Amino acid sequence: MQWERPNALFARKALTSQGWQRDVLIGIGSDGTIAGIEKAAKAPPGAPVFDLVLPGMANVHSHAFQRAMAGLTEITSGKGRDNFWSWRETMYGFTRKLTPEHIEAIARALYIDLLKHGYTAVGEFHYVHHDGNGKPYASITELSDRIVAGAQATGIHLTHLPVMYETGNFGGAAANDGQKRFVHNADSYLQLVEALVKKYGKADGITLGIAPHSLRAVTPQTLQRILEALPGLDLADCPIHMHIAEQEKEVEDCIGWSKQRPAEWLFDHHQVDKHWCLIHATHTTSDEVIRMAKNGATVGLCPTTEANLGDGIFPAEQYLKVQGSFGIGSDSNVCVSPWEELRLMEYAQRLITRKRTVLCSEATPSVGRTLFAQAAGGGAKALGIRAGEIAPGRRADMMVLSTNHALLAEKDGDAILDTLLFAVTPAITDVFVAGKRVVTNGRHALEEESAQQLRAITRLC
Ligand SMILES: [Zn+2]
């Protein structure tokens, strides 16, 4: 796909690293980064002119294929209490039917939707590796290649996180039948990562990381071995993502196995630092929250999926008070809007604390500004990319919004973000990824074709 790549764009209002600016000329270098920012500028001839420009949002956690099962799990099984674990069984059944072609087509359709809602990068926590019978494909990277192809067709930046999945529960329990498409041993997993580094280590639009699935799905020995192997694979500073403490049962099982809670165990056994992104971290204690913040890790919160699956509510008020870094993820992709994720994040806190304006501070009193800026910055950090704010040297990942809505047209500063987050459906007209204009006037070039393919898949599934 040939994308238009202007040398500069002009914004009547923009949120930059220096705060809100008016009449800003944002220069874009040939390397896809922001070359410079000129304030109180005039629009040069030929540069696209926009009313409102914001940094692109990072989506730190996606399982792309689950997009095709959205809407199929909202009906009771009639067997008593439906919960995360019964949802997981349905998901396993669904996964069994998917071919490599399906996986690519679903990823492409999803990533177009993500772009159109303002996400400019996605962390794909990719755990389906083998065919429906658990047999490896002829190429070890077959399904990773499909995810990469899906992302590259759309222009979204991909942080690809191949998942190490080994066991069915803590203590080395064997993986079950539903998990056989996911399972690697340490050797075959390291072969996969090595092959991915060879193929994509220097590719444009891709960052490689790793994802030990969770402490229930990876043994301590394997985790140790993978982490030790990273420097030799040229991945010494790569993003490391792991699900942690999503469910109370998971915490109980971990205590039964190790006498420690999952986050506690991880901090005691590994150097968890700024390269780590702990996904969910829903059931964490005050001590764990403080350790996460101090270690510089990012928490990957997925509020709509966590609500959809009945996980629980992350202690975000406390975490933000200790300057914890977070990003947001679409996870099961039941929702593809960062705005909804952030709104729900705040509303969940209001409902449990019975207060208003919870996730903000004296320094940044606006909830919209606090959540948007921190999710964009923390998310970019977790995906291993220099993005998350409009600043020279950062990637030119940006979204353009219409201010036609009557509630937006006259607003300035943080009130814009508060309105977008709480009151109007944001109308995103254009999206730039590394300077490339991948959404133009609200449209992605592949959207119709891709939607047709997704539609055909939903008929099969
Ligand atoms: Zn997940």
Write down the domain spans for the chain.
8-55+389-447, 57-382
How close is the Cα of 127 to the center of ligand 1, in Å? 10
Per-residue model confidence (pLDDT) at position 26: 98
Equal CATH topology for 8-55+389-447 and 57-382: no
- Of the residues 331, 397, 414, 430, only one is catalytic, namely 331
Query: Is the Cβ–Cβ distance between 121 and 176 less than 8 Å?
Result: no
Does residue 79 surpass a pLDDT of 80? Answer: no
Q: Half-sphere exposure (CA, 13 Å, Cβ side) for 350?
A: 10
pLDDT in tens, 226-269: 999 999 999 999 999 999 999 999 999 999 999 999 999 999 99
Mean per-residue pLDDT, 321-331: 98
- The count of residues in the chain is 461
Query: What is the distance in A from the centroid of ligand 1 to the CA of 62?
Result: 7
Tell how far the Cα of 277 is from the centroid of ligand 1, in angstroms: 12
280 is known as an active-site residue: yes
> Is the pTM above the cut of 0.85?
yes
**Residue 460 clears pLDDT 80, i.e. is over it:** no
Residue 89 has pLDDT above 90, yes or no: no
Task: Determine the average pLDDT of the residues in 6-16.
Answer: 97
**Do 233 and 197 contact (CB within 8 A), yes or no?**
yes
Report which of 68, 14, 5, 6 is spatially closest to residue 403, judged by C-alpha positions.
14
The domain 8-55+389-447 having CATH identifier 3.40.50.1980: the answer here is no
Q: How far is the CA of 109 from the centre of ligand 1 (A)?
A: 19
pLDDT at residue 461 in the model: 67
- Beta-carbon contacts of residue 410 (< 8 Å; ≥ 6 apart): none
Average pLDDT of span 442-448: 98
Distance CA 279, CA 241 (A): 7
Could you tell me the two tokens for 118? 């303002």
Mean pLDDT of 161-188: 95
CA 332 to ligand 1 center in whole angstroms: 7
Give the pLDDT score at 203: 97
Structure tokens at 174: 């064997």
Q: Is 23 a catalytic residue?
A: no
CA of 150 from ligand 1 middle (Å) equals: 19
Average pLDDT score, the chain: 96
Tokens of 354: 């019975």
pLDDT at res. 78: 80
What pLDDT shows up at residue 81?
79
Residue percentage of the chain with pLDDT more than 70: 100
For ligand 1, a single-atom ion, the residues with CB < 5 A are 331
> Quick one: pLDDT at residue 286?
97
Catalytic residue among 61, 63, 160, 280: 280
Q: Is the pLDDT of residue 360 over 70?
A: yes
Rounded to whole angstroms, what are the CA distances from 80 to 74, 77, 86? 14, 7, 10
pLDDT at res. 1:
79
CATH number of 57-382: 3.20.20.140
Tell me if 37 sits within 8 A of 25, measured CB to CB. Answer: yes
